[in-house]
């Protein structure tokens, strides 16, 4: 069963009907070339597409003629060295929490005058930086911060501008003698943990935003915590239900072993609402993103924490190392589904390279990104769908991708394909505000 693009994508209120999970071919894989052979055993199961070979150092298992496959020799476009686009850049000083802005034509970072400031602007700036919301803001006396700022200031223009980028102008002084200090919603951090060298199984708290989504008492997909009440996952994990039983979905957080789910200390979180992007196309896998709202909020701790979202226009160059994690199959035969959360480093592959004729031949849209290795080795696999592709930036971890689809698992020249979260920031913010 599939829903067309016009159908309302909000799913709520339990309805007493029963559906086999994903009645068409394994969700997210229907239409992907070259997968039918090893998918035959899955067509009646609840597993969905994608995540992860046991180790980046181990050779592929069960991939047949891997060594005879010619690798893709398209070079990465290394000219993309600065992921920042546009003419206005923002940062919050780690020393004193002051908001600093760099206008494209000016070489220096300048503080922002308190005049005409409001909390709505603070939220917009926080979101530009990949944080969900503003936590605190105040005007700080220039006399309290020392003589560091002598090059001038940024001030909000008197006219109402349509975009945040056009709201700023240079000033020699601030009339009130105050500048803005900001704190945004904390995310993307983890507790101090012993460093893992060459580890495969993740330790508790290493990926505190990772959750397991259970449908009818079975691990079905991964997901990522972005607030105390919202989880990001893949649309193909949920879209096959026209009238689903919301009560059949349970979210487990703060675990690394699936066997610890449903224990007294790890009771699941009930789901109140499921929203998938209305532009999701189950044939091309485009716009493969969804949100789950919980009935009761997470209690944040060392093992349950939110991940930051990417900044607007966030575009990582090919070769950037990121991480995937999940409980999906560790071999493409669909037999070995681990009890313990697995993790692996994967490099970003440029869309230009991923769309070449020796990889996905134009199937990668602007709302997708690729990560993995030309020779295979490490990839997402069945059961990891909806889980996180995270990258560290400015000392915080950001949810760059959502596990979506791919041809096979860890096959040469067919890396994992992920939903590009940076393309859906407006949609995420709108859904969270409206629901």
- One of 385, 393, 404, 414 is an active-site residue; which one? 385
Nearest Cα to 388, choosing from 187, 197, 156?
Answer: 187
Q: Nearest 10 degrees: CA dihedral of 256, 257, 263, 266? A: 10
Q: Across the strands, what pairs with 99?
A: 92
- Give CA separation, 197 vs 209, 328, 364, 395, in Å: 21, 22, 33, 20
Q: Note if 247 is an active site residue.
A: no
- Element (DSSP H or E) covering residue 139: strand 134-141
- One of 236, 239, 285, 414 is an active-site residue; which one? 236
- Element (DSSP H or E) covering residue 426: helix 425-434
Burial class (CB in 10 A: 0-12, 13-18, 19+), 10: middle
Residue 48 neighbours by CB distance under 10 Å: 30
Residue 379 corresponds to which tokens in the numbers above?
């990839």
- One of 219, 248, 286, 288 is an active-site residue; which one? 288
Max Cα distance, the chain (Å): 72
Q: What span, in angstroms and rounded, lies between the C-alpha atoms of 182 and 129?
A: 12
Q: Note if 236 is an active site residue.
A: yes
Q: What span, in angstroms and rounded, lies between the C-alpha atoms of 397 and 389?
A: 10
Active site residues: 236, 288, 385
């Amino acid at each position: 069963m599939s829903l067309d693009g016009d159908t309302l994508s909000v799913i709520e209120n339990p309805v007493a009907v029963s559906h086999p999970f994903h009645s068409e071919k394994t969700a997210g894989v229907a239409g992907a070339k070259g997968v039918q052979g090893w998918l035959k055993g899955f067509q009646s199961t609840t597993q969905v597409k994608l995540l992860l070979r046991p180790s980046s150092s181990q050779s592929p298992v069960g991939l047949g003629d891997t060594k005879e496959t010619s690798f893709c020799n398209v070079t990465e476009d290394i000219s993309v060295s600065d992921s920042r686009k546009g003419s206005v850049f923002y940062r919050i000083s780690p020393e004193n929490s002051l908001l600093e802005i760099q206008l494209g034509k000016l070489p220096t970072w300048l503080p922002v005058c308190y005049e005409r400031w409001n909390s709505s602007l603070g939220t917009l700036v926080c979101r530009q930086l990949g944080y969900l919301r503003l936590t605190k803001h105040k005007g700080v006396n220039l006399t309290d911060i020392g003589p560091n700022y002598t090059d001038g200031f940024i001030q909000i223009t008197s006219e109402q501008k349509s975009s945040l980028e056009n709201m700023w102008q240079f000033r020699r002084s601030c009339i009130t003698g105050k500048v803005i200090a900001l704190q945004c919603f904390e995310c993307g951090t983890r507790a101090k943990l012993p460093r893992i060298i060459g580890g495969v199984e993740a330790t508790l708290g290493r990926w505190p935003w990772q959750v397991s989504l259970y449908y009818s008492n079975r691990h079905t997909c991964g997901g990522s915590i972005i607030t105390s009440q919202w989880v990001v996952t893949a649309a193909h994990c949920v879209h096959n239900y026209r009238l689903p039983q919301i009560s059949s979905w349970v979210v487990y957080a703060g675990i690394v072993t699936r066997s610890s789910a449903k224990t007294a200390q790890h009771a699941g979180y009930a789901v109140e609402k499921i929203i998938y992007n209305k532009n999701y196309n189950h044939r091309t896998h485009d716009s493969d993103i969804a949100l789950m709202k919980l009935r009761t909020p997470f209690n944040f701790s060392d093992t349950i924490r939110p991940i930051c979202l990417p900044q607007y226009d966030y575009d990582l160059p090919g070769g950037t190392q990121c991480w995937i994690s999940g409980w999906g199959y560790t071999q493409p035969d669909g037999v070995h589904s681990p009890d313990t959360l697995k993790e692996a480093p994967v490099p970003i592959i440029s869309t230009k390279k991923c769309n070449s004729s020796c990889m996905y031949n134009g199937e990668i849209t602007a709302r997708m990104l690729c990560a993995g290795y030309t020779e295979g080795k490490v990839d997402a696999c069945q059961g990891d769908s909806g889980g996180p592709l995270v990258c560290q930036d400015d000392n915080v971890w950001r949810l760059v991708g959502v596990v979506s689809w791919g041809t096979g698992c860890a096959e040469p020249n067919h890396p994992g394909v992920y939903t590009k979260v940076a393309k859906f920031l407006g949609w995420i913010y709108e859904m969270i505000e409206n629901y």
